[in-house]
Amino acid sequence: MKAVTWILRILSTATFAYMAYLVYVALDESSAWGWSAPYDFVVTVFHLLSLLAFFLSVLIMNGLTAAIFGGQLPDQMVAWLYNTLVLKYWNMQPYGVDGPISDVNLVFESFQMDLIGVMLSLWDNTFSFLFFLLAGLGVALFLQSLVRMDHKFSGGAFLSIQSILIIGAFRGLTVPNFTIFPTDIIVFLTSSPQILALVSFAYLEFSYQMIYSHSVGRPVEDREETLKTQLLALRQATRKQDAIESGEKVRTTAMSRASGATAFSFLREAIERKVFGTTEALENLDAVSDVRRLQHFVDELLLSNPNAREELTAKAAAPSESYVIGSTITGSAMRFLGVVIISFLMMSPALFVSMLSLPPGVEYSAELLELEFILIFLLPISLLFVFVSVIIGWFSQREEVEVVELTKEEKEAIKKRREELKKKKKAAVKARRARKKAKKKRKAEEGQDEWDKALEDTYKR
Partner 1 sequence: MITQRGFVVLFGGVLLLTSGFVFINAYLALLGVYLIVGLVVTLPFFAMTANIAGIEVDREIDKVKLFSGDFLRVRVTIKNTSRRHFDFIEVWDRYPETWILAIGENFIASRIEPGSSMTFSYILQARMRGRYFLGPTEVIMRDRLGMHYFTRVLKEKTEVLVYPTWKDVRRLEAMGKQRQLGLMFGSHRTKTIGMGTDFAGFREYVPGDPFRLIDWKSSAKRGDMVIKQFEMEKNIQVVCMVDSSGSMGNGYPENTKLEYAIRAAVLLTHMGMERRDLVGTCVFSDVVHSYVPPSTHPNHMYGVLESLAMAEPSGWSDYESAVEYVTQQTRKRSLFIWLTDLEESPAPLLNAMKTVVANGHKAMVISPFGPWFEVPVGQFGPVEKVLAEAVSEELWERRSKISRALARFGIAVVNVGPEDFLPTIIKQYEEAKRMGVAMF
Binding residue for partner 1 (CB under 8 A) from 40, 124, 225, 269? Answer: 269
CB of 347 to partner 1, least distance (A): 6
When binding is defined by CB under 8 A, the residue of 28, 364, 427, 448 that contacts partner 1 is 427
Query: Sign of dihedral through CA atoms 105, 107, 113, 116?
Result: negative
x/- map, 338-367, partner 1, by CB under 8 A: xxx-xx--xx--------------------
The tally of CA atoms less than 13 A away on the side-chain side of residue 65 is: 13
Stretch that binds partner 1, among 38-46, 105-113, 133-141, 265-273 (CB under 8 A): 265-273
Given the rule CB under 8 A, which of 51-59, 69-77, 135-143, 166-174 is the region that contacts partner 1?
166-174
Contacting partner 1 within 285-324 (CB under 8 A): 285-286, 289-290, 293-294, 297-298, 301, 308, 311-312, 314, 316-320, 323-324
Q: Cα angle at 139 between 338 and 167, to 5 degrees?
A: 75
Query: Nearest approach, Cβ of 155 to partner 1 (angstroms)?
Result: 4
C-beta of residue 107 within 8 angstroms of C-beta of residue 79: yes
Whole-angstrom CA distances from 248 to 240, 241, 252, 380, 456 are 9, 10, 11, 74, 63
- The secondary structure of 134-202, three-state, reads HHHHHHHHHHHHHHHCCHHHHHHHHHHHHHHHHHHHHCCCCCCCCCCCCCCHHHHHHCHHHHHHHHHHH
Question: Residues 13-21: contacts with CB within 8 Å, 24+ apart?
Answer: 13/142, 13/146, 15/199, 15/202, 15/203, 15/206, 16/142, 16/157, 16/161, 16/203, 16/207, 18/199, 19/161, 19/196, 19/199, 19/200, 19/203, 20/135, 20/138, 20/139, 20/161
Sites for partner 1 among residues 432-451 (CB under 8 A): 432, 435, 438-439, 442, 449-451
Q: Are the C-beta atoms of 135 and 35 separated by less than 8 Å?
A: no
Q: Round the CA-based radius of gyration of the chain to a whole number and report it.
A: 39
Nearer to partner 1 by C-beta: 250 or 315? 315
Report d(CA 140, CA 147) in Å as an integer: 11
Of 5, 15, 200, 256, the one binding partner 1 (CB under 8 A) is 200
Residue 35 or 394 having the CB closest to partner 1: 394
Give the per-residue contact string, 19-58, with partner 1 (x = CB under 8 A; - = no).
Answer: ----------------------------------------
| Residue of 274, 275, 297 whose CA lies nearest to 285 | 274
If the CB atoms of residues 115 and 292 are measured against partner 1, the closer one turns out to be 292
Residue 394 CB, nearest approach to partner 1 (Å)? 9
Q: Could you tell me the smallest distance in angstroms from the CB atom of residue 337 to partner 1?
A: 10
Kindly tell me which of 105 and 448 has the beta carbon lying closer to partner 1. 448
- Binning the chain into helix, strand and coil, the percentages to the nearest 5 are 80, 0, 20
Name every residue whose Cβ is closer than 8 Å to that of residue 176 and which is 6 or more positions away in sequence. Answer: 22, 26, 165, 192, 193, 196
Closest distance between partner 1 and the C-beta of residue 299, in Å? 12
Q: How many residues bind partner 1 (CB under 8 A)?
A: 111
- Residue 160 lies near partner 1 (rule: CB under 8 A): no
Stretch that binds partner 1, among 10-18, 28-36, 139-147, 165-173 (CB under 8 A): 165-173
Stretch near partner 1 under the rule CB under 8 A, chosen from 61-69, 122-130, 222-230, 237-245: 222-230
Binder among 8, 137, 141, 175 for partner 1 (CB under 8 A) = 175
| Among 82-90, 168-176, 353-361, 410-418, the segment contacting partner 1 (CB under 8 A) | 168-176
Is 329 one of the binding residues for partner 1 (CB under 8 A)?
no
Residues 367-406 touching partner 1, rule: CB under 8 A, are 371-372, 374, 378, 381-382, 385-386, 388-390, 392-393, 396-397, 399-400, 402
Site string for partner 1, 86-125 (x = CB under 8 A): ----------------------------------------
Task: Tally helices (H) and strands (E) across the chain.
Answer: 17, 0
**Interacting stretch for partner 1, rule CB under 8 A, among 52-60, 63-71, 409-417, 424-432?**
424-432
* Rounded distance between C-alpha atoms, residue 107 and residue 95, angstroms: 12
Q: How far is the CB of 179 from partner 1 (least distance, A)?
A: 8
- 145 near partner 1, judged by CB under 8 A: no
C-beta separation of 174 from 33 below 8 A: no
DSSP 251: -
Question: Quick one: angle between helices 2-28 and 151-170, nearest 10?
Answer: 10
